[in-house]
Amino acid sequence: MSSNQLTVIHNFIRFSREYIEYSDGSKWTRKVDPESGKPTSDWTAVEAPVSEVEEGSRLQLIVVAQRQADNEPKHWSIFCHRPNSSGTGKGTVWQVKGDAEYMHYQHTLNTDILNSRSFEWHQVVNNNLNESQLARVEQICNSEPPPRAANRASVTENCQGWVIRVLYRLAKEGIVQQNAIAVLQRYMDPIN
């Protein structure tokens, strides 16, 4: 990558990668350490970037996984937003939290979960959500009961199971594809 007489137009870090755009229109990326932000690879050209206008105009429904304490399963939530040019941006999070014996709703508005320090990975389950589908997502997330158990020994489900139950209901209404659920189930952590 040559930067002779070029001006940096845009520079950001997303999902352990740094992206840079120069005044000549060239775009480059390299891997960075998620903790320190220091480069871990050389720059490579970005061949076919997604159009910022196209990307930002669609409402996306995403399953997000976040790191928790060591030896704990990942926390899963459902997130809806209109991605900005870096693919992140503020939106609504639907989730259940708490001890697996008595989980509770903890939905959050206007948050950018994709830039959280605990972000691990995400899976888009609807890349073009319309307003009526969004209303159904809201209704289903607010009506699907959080996991509960009489005691620790009888815990059979956590936030990941709740997300899968919500997705099954959304699939019945054609809001998400059934195959997306099958893919996500392969990433479920065992119940501790």
pLDDT per position in the chain (192 positions), as tens? 554 577 877 777 777 788 888 777 788 888 888 788 888 888 888 765 444 434 447 899 999 999 999 889 999 999 999 998 888 899 999 999 998 889 999 999 999 999 999 999 999 999 999 999 999 999 999 999 999 998 988 899 999 999 999 999 999 999 999 999 999 999 999 986
Instruction: Write down the pLDDT at residue 167.
Output: 98
Cα four-point dihedral sign 92, 80, 83, 98: positive
Rounded Cα distance between 148 and 101, Å, is: 5
Rounded Cα distance between 174 and 105, Å, is: 24
Cβ atoms of 164 and 147 closer than 8 Å: no
- Give the containing element (helix H, strand E) for 16: none
- Secondary structure letter of residue 41 according to DSSP: S
Instruction: Write down the pLDDT at residue 1.
Output: 53
Q: Report residue 68 as tokens.
A: 């928790």
- How far are the Cα atoms of 69, 78, 145, 153 from residue 157, in angstroms, in the given order? 18, 16, 12, 11
- Secondary structure letter of residue 43 according to DSSP: -
Rounded Cα distance between 126 and 103, Å, is: 26
Amino acid at 35: E
- Beta-ladder partners of 54: none
Rounded Cα distance between 106 and 93, Å, is: 8
Nearest CA to 185 out of 169, 155, 165, 156 is that of: 165
**pTM of model > 0.75:** no
SS3 content of the chain, % helix, strand, coil (to 5): 25, 30, 45
Cβ atoms of 169 and 122 closer than 8 Å: no
Look up tokens 């209109």; give the residue.
82
Instruction: Write down the pLDDT at residue 90.
Output: 92
Instruction: Write down the pLDDT at residue 104.
Output: 94
